[in-house]
Structure 1
């Protein structure tokens, strides 16, 4: 009987504490008993919602040239770091398939002329022979006219090939004005010219090198105007618009810089939003910001909101490391959990967003807590949810 009665008793309360110095917390089947030190009133604080933007500085105007077909580099007319004007010659290349194509066409035409199988020539010969004496014009001369026409066709075909060569180099960068300007001479050598004025920032080729379709040739940059491109979840699109101010910093520099949202490009397939930020050219940025510098910025949106100030010990299930350095705000939305006590004295594990860290007070601003709640500082087991809090 004693054993049966013992088995029917409810489980004994467990005692725990957040640290060795904290008073114990007693957790039973339906309640959690804790000292007043674990309970914190809501302390509201106003804040401006914002989004973090991260990217690398790059020139707005740039041209990346790649081979649109197989080529051989005959001559390189520029060096890395050199400034060139628009239309300046950059490279002389040769299209590997051009001569073969012309030879094939010429060979076919020669064969047709030799064998006399050109239907149009036969037709023209018949027409001419019907108008003049059959013995006055040899058959070779009668075929000569269409052959001459065919020769013109061959020249026209060569012109078409030359026209096709105008796309020997392609520009990948949307901001570049034109595709590469090219000109072909009688030897099928092609001069690739600069589509923009700028500096040769990268040169990927060597003289006599064989280039395959899609290979990089060179990269031109005009760094007089700069930008960076940030990537956000596509859900952020309603919060942004062209013209919004962006404040940003770069690693290793204490200066703060300003930019403006210049373009938004949403990609529904990847569920991402590309945010183009134009760097404002002023005394702060001129001569300091350079291409390839990594920057971190923020753009404000919406109306002022109210959050809650809490100590670190109340925030659970999140890594707060990235908030320990400027700008003390997460680059992307940072979610966590906080134990709160509702008006019915029941515990709830409340999802919250961590907004920022204040290094002077060593406290955090979070969003998602209402004023009719109390904050529990203890890190309780998950089964504490729904239990009644008893203050002792």
Structure 2
């Protein structure tokens, strides 16, 4: 993180300097100039102080707010400066290459659009829940389960919540789907089990006639903070497992259960977190499926989507549908008219929505909560509803 900060600030400074051309073309007011530069200098200084002097682990809330302010300053200008760049190209071929006032005005208008979009996302986006629906067809789905519905939630991150009204809005939306089964794919908390204390009554309200099941995510193990001892960390994990029970979820720890309906059944498998790179690999798919028949229709809950290509698709027993989360869609991106983009796509091949390979499906939930950035921009919090159909 510390190594990236100077690069980010240099890029931000270059964008500021270039965008300033539009401001300078439209006014010579020194107060406007002072406000323009002072705001960014204070934000940059705050970020440097928080990261270098306080440390990321000791000032996460301060850094998240400062980063939000930086995005408000940086992204709109970055989107606006191509207008100036096009004008600069034409100025090379003009006899009197004076910058046009109307082009500078257009630059500011273009920058204003993402500014207000960012402002909405950072202030209201964290509870701007959206339902995403998919209907999936399978040849091996038992007839009794034709039309069976799943509501998937992921990445609650209770330690980030501050609004009881906002959280209840999402819970009510999930219940309103009236799904047969509710599945939660990990990251109930940011670090500590105690973060859920205030939210147990709210999440206990989630209901489904065929039950509620869950798995652990990378944040649930408490690996990202310093504990007094390994025993304290283990005690925290044990407490978190009890919280799953308190809110009515059956936590699957590298194990499988059968969901029965009208004399038929499907198998639900849950593995502990398995992540690529430096993430701990607690998940054991072999152990979770050792008692599962190959001819059973199988749904896997695995927090990290990288597990799908790395292990699940290669597994000796066919897994029809995998449900994951983890990426949050980076809480920043664009989803419009079928177009979907976020910087997280350069880290995870499967980062939001439905993926299909070898006649098997992966669905990556965009997440219910938020972490780091105190909001969501373009990639809204999600309640996913999947309908299973028999071909």
When normalised by structure 1's length, the TM-score is: 0.21
The structure with the greater share of residues assigned to strand is: 1
**Relative contact order: is structure 1 or structure 2 higher (C-alpha 8 Å, sep ≥ 6)?**
1
The structure with the greater share of residues assigned to helix is: 2
- Higher gyration radius (CA): 1
When normalised by structure 2's length, the TM-score is: 0.21
